């Protein structure tokens, strides 16, 4: 699974417009922090008590689930839009991901399965 995630992330990084005049692509670290920022925004907008948000924010299972959904969204984006746009602005990509994430709600069982898959355990 890790190889598939990395391959998709490389495709996305090469498709996002450079973030500076001397850059060819955004870095893996920039993409990582973009995803963290989106995850924190997702948690802020959830309609759950603050203590639940805090528990989720600290939960490796939540972040594994969030990354798996983000990856699914990346695959969809690449499949349906890659041929239509040579490059996409990073803010467009970020907002698109945020919008798509609104359709998903975390579930403990699914989050635990995502964590197991991410660390290579049998699901």
Label residue 110 by pLDDT band (50, 70, 90).
confident
CB atoms within 10 A of CB 7: 10
Digit-coded pLDDT (tens) for 22-55:
667 788 898 999 999 999 999 988 888 888 889 8
With a cut of 60, say whether residue 123 has pLDDT above it. Answer: no
Question: What pLDDT is recorded for position 117?
Answer: 80
Q: Is residue 103 part of a domain?
A: yes
Nearest residue to 1 via CA among 122, 117, 115, 121: 117
Contact 43, 57 (CB under 8 A): yes
**Domain extent for 59:** 2-12+26-119
Tally of structural domains, the chain: 1
Q: Is residue 41 part of a domain?
A: yes
Q: Is residue 54 part of a domain?
A: yes
Digit-coded pLDDT (tens) for 63-99:
999 999 999 999 999 999 988 998 899 899 999 999 9
Q: Is residue 17 part of a domain?
A: no
């Amino acid at each position: 699974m890790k190889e598939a995630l990395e391959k998709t992330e490389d495709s996305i990084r090469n498709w996002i417009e450079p973030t500076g005049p001397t850059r060819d692509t955004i870095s893996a670290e920039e993409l990582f922090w973009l995803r963290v920022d989106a995850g924190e925004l997702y948690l802020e907008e959830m309609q759950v008590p603050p203590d639940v948000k805090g528990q989720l924010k600290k939960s490796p299972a939540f972040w594994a689930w969030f990354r798996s959904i983000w990856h699914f969204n990346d695959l969809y984006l690449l499949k349906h839009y890659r041929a239509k746009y040579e490059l996409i602005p990073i803010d467009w990509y970020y907002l698109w991901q945020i919008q798509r994430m609104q359709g998903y709600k975390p579930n403990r069982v699914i989050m635990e399965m995502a964590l197991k898959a991410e660390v290579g355990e049998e699901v």
